[in-house]
Structure 1
Amino acid sequence: MSNVLILGANGQIARLVRKRLLADTDAQLTLYLRNSRRLGNIDPRREKIVDADVNDGEALQNAISGQDLIYANLGGEFEPMARKVVDAMEHDEVSRLIWVTGLGLYHEVPGEFGRWVDESIGSEIMEDTRRAARIIESSPLDATIIRAAYMNNDPTVDYELTHKGEPFKGTVVSRSSIADLIVHIITDPTLYSNESLGIAQPGTDGNRPW
Structure 2
Amino acid sequence: MTNVLILGANGRIAQLATEQLLANDRNHLTLFLRNASRLADAAGSRVKVVDGDADNEADLKAAMADTDIVYANLAGDNIEDQAKTVVAAMDATNVKRLIWISTLGIYDEVPGKYGEFNHKMLDGGYLETYSAAAKVIEGSDLDYTIIRPAWLSNRDEIDYETTQKGEPFKGTEVSRKSIAALVTQLVADPTQSIHASLGVNKPNTDGDKPVWY
Give the TM-score normalised by the residue count of structure 1.
0.97
State the shift of 1:61 in Å: 1.1
113-122 vs 4-13, which deviates more? 113-122
Q: Report what 2:67 is aligned to.
A: 67
Q: Report what 1:199 is aligned to.
A: 200
Q: Report what 2:56 is aligned to.
A: 56
**Aligned length in residues:** 210
State the shift of 1:98 in Å: 0.2
Q: Report what 2:98 is aligned to.
A: 97
2: CA distance between counterparts of 1:112 and 1:123? 18
2: CA distance between counterparts of 1:124 and 1:135? 17
The 5 A counterparts of 1:141-152 are: 141-152=142-153
SS at match of 2:23: helix
What letter is aligned with 1:183?
T
Q: Report what 1:127 is aligned to.
A: 128
Supply the RMSD in Å over aligned alpha carbons: 1.0
The 5 A counterparts of 1:1-210 are: 1-76=1-76, 77-210=78-211
What letter is aligned with 1:192?
S
What letter is aligned with 1:168?
F
What letter is aligned with 2:139?
S
SS at match of 2:152: strand
1: CA distance between counterparts of 2:29 and 2:191? 19
2: CA distance between counterparts of 1:90 and 1:43? 27
1: CA distance between counterparts of 2:20 and 2:209? 31
Decide whether the 8 Å contact of 2:145 with 2:196 is kept in 1.
yes
47-56 vs 198-207, which deviates more? 47-56
State the shift of 1:118 in Å: 1.1
| Stretches of structure 2 lacking an aligned partner (at least 5 in a row) | none
2: CA distance between counterparts of 1:28 and 1:90? 22
State the shift of 1:42 in Å: 2.3
State the shift of 1:65 in Å: 2.7
Give the TM-score normalised by the residue count of structure 2.
0.96
What letter is aligned with 1:146?
I
Decide whether the 8 Å contact of 2:104 with 2:149 is kept in 1.
yes
Decide whether the 8 Å contact of 2:43 with 2:49 is kept in 1.
no
State the shift of 1:25 in Å: 3.4
Q: Deviations over 1:129-174 (max 9, x none)?
A: 1110000001000000000000011011111100001000000000
What letter is aligned with 2:6?
I
2: CA distance between counterparts of 1:164 and 1:80? 23
Decide whether the 8 Å contact of 2:186 with 2:192 is kept in 1.
yes
Identity over aligned pairs, percent = 48
| Stretches of structure 1 lacking an aligned partner (at least 5 in a row) | none
What letter is aligned with 1:72?
A
2: CA distance between counterparts of 1:129 and 1:113? 19
State the shift of 1:45 in Å: 1.0
What letter is aligned with 1:158?
D
2: CA distance between counterparts of 1:195 and 1:123? 26
2: CA distance between counterparts of 1:24 and 1:45? 13
